[in-house]
């Protein structure tokens, strides 16, 4: 999550808007971005649209770990996405983008650039 | 070659199956079957009383005769053989030629030659027709007596008891099962049988049967006493059906039966005899397994494999009665010279165990187990495979103390050739091969080897072999839930319950590792709900819920949700229907009547859900839990209230049951059905819990399933009053909730339950584990703490806030687009989306 200077950060919500261990979806410059809050208030962001179904649902999946990878399971077909990279574990061709995300005060910021 | 088979019973059909498998070109096979239906499972005949139909019992795989090209002639009895002309004449006068003749005519029940044995309402116990006649007579009888206290007689007595009759068993010998058990064992067994409500009269010699004073018949005994009953069933042994042999000068054995050699040939080399009608070295075999062996030998020999031979059979037996374990192995009476025995007897729990060992104490010769036959499989294998006994063989039958494990057999000690399933002649080697081939569950193993599919007695051992082989092959035998918890669901349940654990954080800190995943989180959430029943969207619980539970609706392919209000028993008022219609209309939802007999509304967006539910709740509806692994529906028929055949108020009961169990979280969804009479319009026998009204109360069926692999439910108990019914359902459901694997419906759970239906009956009906009170209390807690999740959700602003599409924007998800079809909406298909989306206001950059 290094921040390139050209990136444009958008404040989307406050930390308390996201229940620990769950995700929400933000609309940032017409992109649907899933933002997850893990224990210790770590934040991760990937595309919200599940490439397999085309539905905007990834933020509604269950998060956890598989081995060393932090993942979310799509609520539709349970395929797993790496929260750090957006890689789909089962079908790499269904991988999605990941986005830089950080906390500024109480504000959750994403870079959608 | 023309092969003619006389008799299409269990062994006759096994012969055909073997023959079909050998695929000999140029064979023409004709089967003469005296009965009106093709071969069925006589071993499980008694289950006919428990609701199994003739079709359920059939042994003939669909398409068997079409595929094999064999000809089956029902209702056709063979009356004569002409050995010189090589023809068989049927009762209809037809003459059929053969090159090879196979006789598999089984046995006829022996009816003691007493005066009056041919009176009306006197029966034998052998065919489906016999049972149909008994059922009809049972309906107009109050009492029944079984003549004969052997294996079959006791099974029959249990059946009469289940028909609701006052039941007696009359036995000539001084004890029950005289052939298999000794005096002490017989005494314990008698106590067990009397516990079932059957009265036992031993040492009684019947002289004649006359008119009774208070019942239809009176049996008069040699000692001057008498017994009255409305119906009589003779189960005093069987005699080989060898009349065709006797008429045609074929040799017969010393005790009857068609004499056969090791290849199952009679004294005429073109005529074979197999099954119960055959006598091998003057021995008769009244069990199915030796018959199956003979069928294999005969089929192979006829098709030219000359080296096959029948080598006798083990006559060890296990009684398959509910609540009464009896088994006998080998030399149970200790008749071998110099043999010694060890005995263990507990007159309080009514348990008797004996093993007979060789003079040098190294080999097991026989055993008797009464009241608890857990060691049957182990002891049988030890005796059959001559496995050296441990130094202190008594520990094999003594109850384990201090939690010490019993000296097990260690399936590793068995040779590959050890026969594990005797009914279907499956060896350890064959089981191991099937495991290596991918059959790694009991169900799969049963399906591909048939092991355990007949009497079920070998199931515990089959399971052991399977697990040992999987471990040997390095397959993961562990039943760990996932990488985060080294426990099965059942173990986790126990840890949560005993440890009073109420949050996932505590659970994983104490018993697991990592962050959890989409397997263990919902499982833990479900167990928390079963144990403590707190609001599922409570802060600590919310993050564990699968999306369906988190948003209290089923997610659809386009990310919208379905809305299913509960309609208990399928009952809904006109006002209720109007309210549902108005909500659907207002929010533009697609509506459909579901297969679960209620109304489902589809196409609701996340942010619409709370408002929709608020309106439904105002109209008196509650959550239908269509999204949860929980009670779904209790389907009902109109029952006695309206239907001219109904004998019970099925809707009333369904509504009551649905209201009792609604909200109960379980390893998988649970469905009920309640029918008002045996016509079964509610399809209760296809449900996890099925209830059918009878003249005397309610019959309870369990573990049925529709879905991917339909399974008929099985009768757990009959003629219950409502209170007992509910109590048994409480116990059954909680036992399932505690012990099933995740996502295991009751049907697969039952199929994998060691000990099968009998075990389940023992636990649920007879409380053999002493768990009943605890299970009932736990259910009482769940019932008392029920809340409509939707009601709690819409009244909590905190929870309500979570139902939004975007955390930073109030607009709906513009990617959700519908088109119209048959006057309602449906999700647009990929090719329809661009046009449909062009109408929407938000621009998408995807
Ligand atoms: C809506 C409905 C079909 C319909 O239009 O009629 C339906 C719809 C779904 N069924 Fe069903 N089933 C529906 C009645 C049935 C029935 C019939 C019944 O209940 O009498 C069966 C067979 C009976 C049974 O369960 O034994 C049935 C057997 C299944 C199965 C297979 C279960 C099995 O044990 O093999 C699944 C898959 C699963 O659960 O793993 C399933 C799963 C599903 C899911 C949940 C699939 C999914 O994950 O999206 C569907 C979504 C429901 C929704 O969005 O509300 N549904 N499903 C019915 C809802 C009933 C209700 O009122 O709650
Ligand atoms: C209630 C019950 C419970 C049992 N439980 C067990 C158990 O737990 N374990 C076990 O091992 N065994 C059990 N048995 C015994 C088992 O059913 C038999 O060993 C098995 O059925 C023998 O098969 P078979 O083919 O030799 O005889 P059957 O299955 O009796 O078949 C013989 C067939 O031949 C027909 N037939 C006879 N004469 C003619 C003719 N002239 N022309 C045409 N057809 C003819 C008969 O009608 C019958 O259909 C049980 C039996 C009963 C009745
Ligand atoms: S049968 Fe299949 S497609 Fe139809 S509702 Fe059930 S799960 Fe869905
Ligand atoms: S021994 Fe009867 S089914 Fe296996």
ipTM value:
0.75
Same domain, residue pair B663 and B775: yes
**Which among B216, B217, B180, B178 is positioned nearest to B200, based on CA atoms?**
B178
Do B144 and B210 lie in a common domain?
Answer: yes
Structural domain includes residue A104 = yes
Per the domain annotation, does A1 fall within a domain? no
CATH number at residue B225: 3.50.50.60
CA nearest neighbour of A37 among A23, A17, A16, A27: A23
**Pair (B766, B667) in one structural domain:** yes
Q: Would you say B276 and B284 are in contact if contact means Cβ atoms under 8 Å apart?
A: yes
Find out whether the beta carbon of B458 lies less than 6 Å from any atom of ligand 4: yes
| Minimum-distance ligand 1 atom for the alpha carbon of B635 | 20
B649 lies in the same domain as B780:
yes
In a domain, B69, yes or no: yes
B76/B94 Cα distance (integer angstroms)? 10
Average pLDDT over residues B614-622: 97
pLDDT in tens, A66-82: 989 999 999 998 889 99
Cα gap B523→B544, rounded to integer Å? 9
Kindly give the distance from the C-alpha atom of residue B525 to the centroid of ligand 3, in angstroms, as a whole number: 25
d(CA B576, CA B13): 57
Query: What digits encode the pLDDT tens for the residues B300-319?
Result: 999 999 888 998 887 777 77
| Same-domain pairing of B160 and B223 | yes
Angle at Cα B558 formed by Cα B553 and Cα B564, nearest 5°?
25
CATH number of the domain enclosing B666: 3.30.413.10
Q: Which residues of B are annotated as a binding site for [4Fe-4S] cluster?
A: 637, 643, 677, 681
Domain presence at residue A95 = yes
Q: Which residues contact B592 (CB under 8 A, 6 or more apart)?
A: B599, B600, B602
Q: Which two tokens stand for residue B299?
A: 């089929």
**Structure-block tokens of residue B226:** 């008498």
Q: Look at residue B220 and tell me if it is in a domain.
A: yes
Q: Is B162 a domain residue?
A: yes
CA dihedral B764, B769, B775, B777 (to 10 degrees): 120
Taking the centre of ligand 1 as the mean of its atom positions, its distance from the CA of residue B815, in whole angstroms, is 26
Pocket test for ligand 4, best of B291, B292, B422 (most atoms within 8 A of CB): B422
At A6, the pLDDT band (50, 70, 90 cuts) reads low
Q: CA nearest B816 in A: which residue?
A: A55
Let me know whether B607 and B756 are in one domain: no
Identify any residues that bridge with A43 across adjacent strands, giving them in sequence order: A37
Residue A57 predicted with pLDDT over 60: yes
Residue B248 lies in a domain: yes
Q: Do A18 and B807 touch (CB under 8 A)?
A: yes
| Dist CA B623 CA B609 (whole Å) | 12
The answer to which of A89-98, B563-572, B613-622 has the lowest mean pLDDT is A89-98
B452 close to ligand 4 (CB < 6 Angstrom):
yes
- pLDDT (average), residues B571-592: 97
Of the three residues B262, B285, B302, the one that is the final residue of a domain is: B302
What number is the average pLDDT over the span B385-414?
70
Asked whether residue A2 is assigned to any structural domain, the reply reads: no
Q: Does A23 fall in a domain?
A: yes
For residue B136, the surrounding DSSP H or E stretch is helix B128-139
**Res B96 pLDDT > 70:** yes
Same domain, B729 and B829: no
Q: pLDDT of B101-149, one tens digit each? A: 999 999 999 999 999 999 999 999 999 999 999 999 998 999 999 999 9
In a domain, B433, yes or no: no
Q: How far apart are CA B455 and CA B414, in angstroms?
A: 22
Residues in chain A: 113
Q: Which residues form the domain of B827?
A: 814-846
Distance in Å, CA B596 to ligand 1 centroid? 8
pLDDT tens digits for range B699-717: 999 999 998 778 899 999 9
Residue pLDDT, tens place only, A18-40: 999 999 999 998 899 999 999 88
* Of B349, B465, B362, residue with least CA distance to B408: B465
| Helix, coil or strand: residue B550 | helix
B820 and B781 share one domain? no
Given an 8 Å threshold on Cβ–Cβ distance, is B807 in contact with A35? Answer: yes
Question: Is there a domain that residue B838 lies in?
Answer: yes
Residues of chain B with Cβ-Cβ distance to A66 below 8 Å are 483, 517
- Pick from B614, B662, B664, B619: which is nearest to B800 by CA? B614
CA-B462 nearest atom, ligand 4: 4
Q: Name the residue at shortest CA distance from atom 20 of ligand 2.
A: B288
Residue B457 included in any domain = no
pLDDT above 50 (res B845): no
Pairing of strands B78-82, B824-827: unpaired
Does position B436 have pLDDT exceeding 80, yes or no? Answer: yes
pLDDT greater than 90 at residue B41: yes
Q: Which of B279, B302, B325 is the last residue of a domain?
A: B302
Burial class of residue A98 in the structure, from the number of CB atoms within 10 Å of its CB (0-12 exposed, 13-18 middle, 19+ buried): buried
Residue B843: pLDDT band with limits 50, 70, 90 = very low
Number of domains in chain A: 1
pLDDT of B407 = 53
CA of B704 to the centre of ligand 1 (A): 15
| pLDDT computed for residue A3 by the predictor | 47
Question: How far is the C-alpha of B699 from the C-alpha of B798, rounded, in Å?
Answer: 46
* B225: in domain: yes
For residue B16, the model assigns a pLDDT of: 97
Q: Do the beta carbons of residue A53 and residue A76 sit within 8 Å?
A: yes
Instruction: Decide if A44 is inside a domain.
Output: yes
Residue A18: domain span: 8-112
pLDDT band of B320, cuts 50, 70, 90: low
Asked if the model's pLDDT at residue B410 lies above 70, the reply is no
- pLDDT greater than 50 at residue B327: yes
Does residue B757 sit in the same domain as residue B793? no
Say if residue B647 is in the same domain as residue B695.
yes
**What mean pLDDT is reported for chain B?**
90
Rg (CA), chain A: 13
Q: Of B251, B267, B302, which one is at a domain's C-terminal end?
A: B302
Say how far apart CA B371 and CA A59 lie, in whole Å: 57
- Chain B neighbors of A31, CB-CB under 8 A: 845
> Looking at residue A38, which CATH number applies to its domain?
2.102.10.10
Whether residues B792 and B768 share a domain: the answer is: no
When divided into structural domains, chain B yields a total of 5
Note the maximum CA span of chain B: 101
pLDDT tens digits, B23-36: 888 899 999 999 99
Angstrom distance (rounded) from CA B750 to CA B755: 9
* % of chain B with per-residue pLDDT over 90: 68
* pLDDT tens digit sequence for B479-538: 788 889 989 899 999 999 989 999 999 999 999 999 999 999 999 999 999 999 999 999
Pair (B713, B826) in one structural domain: no
Task: Look up tokens 């008429």; give the residue.
Answer: B247
Please write the tens of the pLDDT for every residue from B594-613.
999 999 999 999 999 999 99
């Amino acid at each position: 999550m290094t921040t390139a200077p050209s990136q444009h950060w958008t404040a989307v919500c406050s930390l308390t808007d996201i229940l620990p261990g769950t995700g929400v979806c933000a609309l940032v410059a017409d992109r649907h971005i899933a933002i997850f809050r893990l224990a210790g208030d770590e934040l991760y962001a990937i595309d919200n649209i599940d490439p397999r179904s085309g539905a905007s649902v990834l933020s509604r999946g269950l998060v956890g770990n598989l081995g060393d990878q932090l993942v979310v399971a799509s609520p539709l077909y349970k395929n797993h996405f790496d929260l750090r990279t957006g890689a789909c574990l089962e079908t790499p061709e269904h991988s999605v983008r990941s986005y830089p995300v950080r906390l500024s005060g109480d504000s959750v910021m994403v870079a959608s650039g | 070659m023309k092969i003619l088979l006389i008799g299409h019973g269990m062994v006759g059909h096994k012969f055909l199956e073997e023959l079909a498998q050998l695929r000999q070109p140029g064979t023409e096979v004709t089967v003469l079957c005296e009965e009106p239906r093709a071969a069925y499972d006589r071993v499980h005949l008694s289950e006919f009383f428990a609701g199994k139909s003739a079709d359920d019992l059939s042994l003939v795989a669909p398409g068997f005769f079409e595929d094999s090209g064999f000809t089956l002639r029902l209702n056709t009895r063979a009356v004569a053989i002409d050995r010189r002309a090589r023809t068989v004449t049927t009762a209809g006068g037809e003459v059929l030629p053969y090159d090879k003749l196979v006789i598999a005519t089984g046995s006829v029940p022996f009816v003691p030659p007493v005066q009056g044995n041919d009176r009306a309402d006197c029966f034998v116990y052998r065919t489906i027709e016999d049972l149909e006649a008994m059922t009809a007579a049972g309906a107009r009888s109050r009492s029944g007596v079984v003549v004969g206290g052997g294996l079959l007689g006791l099974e029959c007595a249990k059946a009469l008891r289940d028909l609701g009759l006052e039941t007696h068993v009359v036995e000539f010998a001084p004890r029950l099962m005289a052939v298999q058990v000794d005096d002490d064992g017989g005494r314990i067994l008698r106590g067990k049988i009397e516990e079932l409500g059957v009265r036992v009269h031993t040492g009684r010699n019947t002289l004649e049967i006359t008119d009774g004073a208070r019942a239809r018949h009176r049996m008069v005994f040699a000692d001057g006493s008498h017994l009255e009953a409305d119906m009589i069933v003779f189960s005093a042994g069987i005699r080989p059906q060898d009349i065709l042999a006797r008429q045609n000068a074929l040799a017969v054995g010393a005790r009857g039966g068609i004499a056969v050699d090791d290849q199952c040939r009679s004294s005429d080399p073109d005529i074979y005899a197999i099954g119960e009608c055959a006598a091998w070295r003057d021995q008769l075999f009244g069990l199915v397994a030796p018959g199956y062996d003979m069928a294999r030998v005969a089929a192979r020999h006829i098709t030219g494999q000359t080296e096959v031979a029948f080598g006798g059979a083990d006559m060890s037996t296990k009684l398959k009665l509910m609540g009464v374990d009896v088994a006998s192995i080998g030399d149970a009476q200790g008749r071998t010279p110099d043999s010694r025995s060890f005995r263990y007897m507990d007159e309080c729990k009514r348990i008797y165990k004996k093993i007979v060992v060789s003079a040098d104490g190294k080999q097991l010769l026989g055993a008797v187990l009464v009241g608890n036959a857990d060691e049957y499989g182990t002891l049988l294998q030890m005796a059959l495979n001559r496995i050296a006994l441990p130094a202190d063989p008594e520990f094999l039958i003594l109850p384990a103390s201090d939690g010490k494990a019993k000296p097990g057999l260690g399936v590793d000690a068995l040779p590959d050739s050890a026969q594990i399933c005797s009914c279907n002649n499956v060896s350890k080697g064959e089981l191991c091969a099937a495991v290596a081939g991918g059959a790694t569950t009991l169900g799969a193993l049963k399906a591909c080897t048939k092991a355990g599919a007949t009497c079920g007695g070998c199931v515990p051992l089959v399971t052991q072999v399977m697990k040992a082989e999987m471990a040997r092959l390095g397959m993961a035998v562990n039943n760990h839930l996932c990488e985060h918890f080294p426990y099965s669901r059942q173990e986790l349940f126990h840890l949560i319950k005993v440890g009073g654990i109420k949050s996932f954080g505590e659970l994983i800190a104490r018993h697991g590792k990592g962050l959890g995943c989409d397997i263990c989180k919902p499982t833990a959430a479900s167990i928390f709900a079963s144990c403590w029943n707190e609001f599922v969207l409570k802060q600590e619980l919310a993050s564990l819920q699968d999306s369906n539970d988190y948003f209290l609706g089923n997610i659809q392919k386009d990310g919208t949700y379905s809305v299913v209000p509960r309609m208990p028993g399928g009952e809904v008022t006109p006002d209720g229907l109007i309210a549902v219609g108005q909500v659907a209309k207002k929010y533009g939802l697609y509506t459909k009547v579901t297969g679960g007999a209620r109304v489902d509304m589809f196409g609701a967006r996340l942010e619409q859900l709370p408002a929709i539910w608020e309106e439904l709740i105002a109209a008196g509806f509650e959550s239908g839990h269509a999204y949860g692994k929980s009670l779904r529906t209790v389907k009902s028929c109109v029952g006695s209230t309206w239907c001219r055949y109904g004998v019970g108020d099925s809707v009333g009961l369904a509504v009551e049951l649905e209201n009792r169990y609604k909200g109960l979280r379980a390893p998988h969804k649970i469905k009920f059905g309640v029918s008002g009479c045996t016509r079964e319009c509610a399809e209760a026998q296809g449900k996890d819990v099925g209830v059918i009204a009878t003249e005397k109360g309610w019959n309870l069926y369990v573990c049925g399933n529709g879905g991917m692999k339909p399974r008929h439910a099985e009768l757990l108990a009959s003629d219950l009053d409502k209170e007992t019914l509910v109590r048994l359902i409480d116990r059954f459901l909680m036992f399932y909730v505690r012990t099933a694997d995740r996502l295991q419906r009751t049907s697969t759970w039952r199929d994998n339950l060691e000990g099968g239906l009998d075990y389940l009956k023992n636990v649920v009906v007879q409380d053999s584990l002493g768990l009943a009170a605890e299970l009932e209390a736990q259910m009482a807690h769940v019932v008392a703490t029920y809340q409509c999740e939707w009601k709690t959700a819409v009244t909590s602003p905190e929870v309500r806030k979570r139902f939004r599409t975007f955390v930073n924007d109030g607009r709906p998800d513009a990617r959700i687009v519908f088109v119209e079809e048959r006057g309602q909406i449906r999700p647009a298909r990929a090719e329809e989306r661009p046009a449909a989306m062009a109408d929407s206001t938000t621009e998408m950059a995807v």
